[in-house]
Structure 1
Amino acid sequence: MEIATREAGEGVLRMTVTIAADEMAERIRKAAIVVAFRSEIAPDPAIAPQEAVERKLGCDEAQARIAEQVMKDAVPFALTQERIDIVGSPTFVSAHQASAGKPFEFIMECVPVPRFELPSYAPVSITVPPARVAGDAVAERIAAIAEQHATWEADSEKRAVRAGDVVELSMETEKNGERVAGLCRKSNRYTVGSFAMPDAFDEAVEGMEAGQSREVVYEGPSFETDGAGNPIMEEYRSRITVKRILKKAVPAVSDSWVAATVPGCATVAELEARVRGSLEEEARSQQAKQVEFLSASELAKRFDARIPDTVYEAAMDEAKREFAAKLAEEDTTLEDFLAQGNVDEQQLTVSLMMQVREQLVHQFSLNALAEHYGLSVDDSDMEAFFESIAPGRAMQARLDFERSGRLFAAQRAALRLKANRRLAAEAIIDEFDGEGIG
């Protein structure tokens, strides 16, 4: 990938990116797969992804979307290659089609993260609650452990099934005279009224007694739809037997139960000590995170520079895109969101602007601190960053960043995390007398 970079004025960087001809076939193939997925085109081993997209969308639309995806995929790699950290998302455009065996050129514009100085880099002073375990936390955790080992037994006090009861059922089901294996059970624990089965089924179970059998006919959706797109309903016939009405039996926490259930513990006292130690470790971890957050927030109060308009605009554009994507994911319109929050669009914009400014100031302040400390990142710092964003899945997170070309962005984020943790380590901390963390 060849890149030519020049200033485009007002803090904007223009990059002309050229992808080599021998790379284009594979890039087009990968881009076509993404376009096909987003266009809900089912994969067909007999048809190349690009051809499948062209058949569905038409040649012109398919080529435009594939070229856009090629550019989108290449952008983070270009930024990593040039080691450019940006605000928001870049814009990109090409006057050419993406063709296999031919070089592909496009132009992207972005807003690099500006450099700032802080008036002071002295240690910050913060106040946090103590890292101690609340008085009833140990008992609550042990009760939760016992709950996890609860069993189900017959409830002799109940004669008839009511909505919300848990029952043990056996059932044999037919549809059009044929047995439906997925709805046949010799023994199945079922909560009445849980919407796992149609209402008619639950209505038939209600009022039954242990040992009683009943036949019920009900409708359920098939995999086919009618002309309006609604599922076609089919008739099922089930022979059900209520074997038992159940109740949950939570074991009593005793020395014998602990010895038989909890590896490494022989008594209740030993379990309490282990749980207390675990809770104390959790409390210290939570306090450390709070110290990091409060330290960064206190440092940000020292930021007194003017943020350029282009930086704000890039960050706001990104915030609006993310907000729109969130609404789409939740299947909510902007109008519905505003009505639910009892706010108007102007208030929402002001709220987004405040959030964007806070995020930018935190980022710029930690960048300045990292530069002041003269920090750099190594593999251990990268591992710490990936573990912070994906606990227990740091290796997979790193692979995701590497495969998508966002490694330089990760390095910059790791640098800010390192600066933040050093800031927290040097902070002047006062623990106020409160409930504590944990």
Structure 2
Amino acid sequence: MKSAVETLSPTRAKLTVEVPFEELKPSLDKAYKTIAQQINVPGFRRGKVPPAVIDRQVGRGAVLDQAINEVVPQKYVEALQANDLQPLAQPEIEVTKFEDNDALEFTAEVDVKPEITLPSYDGVTAEVDDVELSDEDVEEQVQNLRERFATLIDVERPAADGDFVVMDLKATQDGEPVEGAEVSGMSYRVGRGGMLDGLDEALVGMAAGDEKVFTSQLVGGDLVGEGVDVAVAVSQVQEQELPELDDEFAEMASEFDTVAELTEDVRERLGRGRRLEQAAAARDAVLEALLEKVSVPLPETIVTDELNARRSSFEQQLSYAGLTMEKYLEDEGQTQDEFEADLERRVRDAVTAQFLLDEIARVEEFGIDQQELSEHMVRRAQQSGQDPQEFANHMFEHNHVPELVQEILRGKALARIVEAAVVKDASGNVLDLKNLRPDGTIGEPEDEAEEGVEADADAADGSSEQEKAEA
């Protein structure tokens, strides 16, 4: 087999492949055997029909076509490997020359991974905001904890912001009930929002036994976005009674004996969470800084496919939230063109980042083992709320494992450049990202660990390379 490659663009190549007729003979013999099993010819047992008879009964052309259909994909893959091309999509194949007992020639146009000249990623600099944690933040979390243990007390007064009401809702359009737009005995916190426009305003001032009608728009169903009349009837008004913030509450709501200990633990956990948020911002900042140093040509078909996929996913999320694209754009103060431009920019950055991380993983010769793959599958299953075994079975059955492997390798590549970077906060402090653990604490550097620490300490505290990248 001979092959030649023509570069049509930095991201598209055309292969011309010539296959001698002798290399088609195994597939030709296989085609004859397959057809012999499929036809009935008087005087011959099924599967024992000679090729010459098949040529007369079925036609030599049908046999050649079947042989070519088997050979072309095989030779296409061999040509890719011979020319060191990495395809990104299905090829456009055309048989350009073929005659019986003569060579087969075909071409294949395909999007290929672009060549990337990696910039130096040791010492990339980036800056992120300081970790900010105020007393008000801590108090808010403690207040949320108190609300979890609060009780509701019936009150004989009109509802105010923050009260709970038990209510019935019924929507009508042109005097006719709207199917599926009716609820009874629903508990709702006044001022919470996110249900129906105008509901909170209508509830304020209503007492038990009051009824009111207001206009709104449905957020779900076939009439989503259409105007309706909503009748609300309140049967109870309840006030939230919080437990006293004392040591007794601390013992009941946590493992701590005093409010001071509970508050300090809340502060510590919030601090770790803010540190992880800062690390995520650092990761993005480092990657963005590296992307500014490299120019990567992008296959337009890949960009278009990703744009369509993200747009469809976003519209689906809006639908689940009971919003239309028009309503979303209105709320965001954004035009359709501005939305599309922003989406395309983010898609191009994401695709560029993938190519860049793939190249870093290749240059660094990263690999993965079975344990890393298993742990990654478990995390992915947990994120999607699926059973880990069912998730793993689905990945194997639908051949998605290579995608998971690529995710892990990209995570390692990202961890490599982040750990090699110099990231400072707004106050000028250098962040210790290399030793940041998944729980937001800072571990000891490996080369300064105390004697007696086992070699697999990272495995014990769960700080794998991928988890550091995700942190």
- Shorter-chain TM band: 0.5 to 0.7
Matched, 1:422 2:416: yes
Partner of 2:270: 279
Look up the SS of the partner of 1:317 in the other structure.
helix
Match of residue 316 from structure 1: 303
Work out the CA distance in 2 between the residues paired with 1:335 and 1:246: 33
SS at match of 2:299: helix
Q: Is the 8 A contact 2:303 2:351 kept in 1?
A: no
Q: Deviations over 1:337-364 (max 9, x none)?
A: 699865465x666545433332232222
- Alignment equivalent of 2:402, drawn from 408, 411, 418: 408
Structure 2 residue corresponding to 1:246, chosen from 224, 238, 250: 238
Pair 404,338 (structure 1): closer, same or farther in 2 beyond 3 Å:
farther
Contact 1:316 1:352 (C-alpha < 8 Å) held by counterparts = no
Residues 402 and 112 (structure 1 numbering): CA distance in 2 closer, same or farther, change over 3 Å?
Answer: farther
Preserved CA contact (<8 Å) 1:121 1:369: no
1:33-432 counterparts in 2 under 5 A?
87=88, 90=90, 111-131=111-131, 133-156=133-156, 158=157, 166-167=164-165, 189=187, 242=235, 245-262=237-254, 264-304=255-295, 307=297, 311-326=298-313, 328-329=315-316, 330=318, 332=324, 343=335, 345=337, 350-382=341-373, 385-386=376-377, 395=388, 398-432=392-426
How far is the alpha carbon of 1:144 from its aligned partner?
0.9
> 1:258, 1:267 within 8 Å by CA — same for their partners in 2?
yes
- Cα deviation, 1:127-150, whole Å, max 9, x if unaligned, reads 233446334322221111111111
C-alpha displacement at 1:269, in angstroms? 1.5
The change in CA–CA distance for 1:246 and 1:336 in structure 2 (over 3 A counts) is: closer
SS of the equivalent of 1:136 reads: helix
Deviation at 1:252, TM superposition (A): 2.0
Task: Give how far 1:270 is off.
Answer: 1.8
Q: Distance in 2 between matches of 1:353 and 1:169?
A: 45
Q: TM-score, normalised by structure 1?
A: 0.54
Call closer, same or farther: CA 1:154–1:303 in 2, change over 3 Å.
same
Structure 2: distance between partners of 1:209 and 1:343: 42
Query: How many residue pairs get matched?
Result: 322
Task: Choose 1 or 2 for highest CA Rg.
Answer: 2
Q: Is the 8 A contact 1:255 1:268 kept in 2?
A: yes
Q: How far apart are 1:382 and its partner, in Å?
A: 3.3
Question: Structure 1 299/324 Cα, relative in aligned 2: closer, same or farther at 3 Å?
Answer: closer
Give the Cα–Cα distance (whole angstroms) in 2 for the partners of residues 122 and 261 of structure 1: 47
Tell me the secondary structure at the aligned position of residue 368 of structure 2. coil
Quickly say closer, same or farther: Cα 1:436–1:251, change in 2 above 3 A: farther
Aligned to 2:437: none
Cα offsets for 1:405-435 (capped at 9, x unmatched) = 2211221221111011122122222222299
The corresponding residue for 1:433 is: 427
State the identity %. 18
Root-mean-square deviation (CA), in Å? 5.7
Find the aligned partners of 2:206 and 2:144 in 1 and give their Cα distance.
Answer: 32
Q: Give 5+ residue unaligned stretches, structure 1.
A: 19-77, 94-106, 171-181, 215-224, 229-239
Tell me the alpha carbon deviations over residues 12-56 of structure 1, each in whole angstroms, 9 at most, x when there is no partner. Answer: 589xxx9xxxxxxxxxxxxxxxxxxxxxxxxxxxxxxxxxxxxxx
**Using the alignment, how far apart are the partners of 2:340 and 2:195 within structure 1?**
42
- Could you tell me how far apart the structure 2 residues matched to 1:290 and 1:189 are? 39
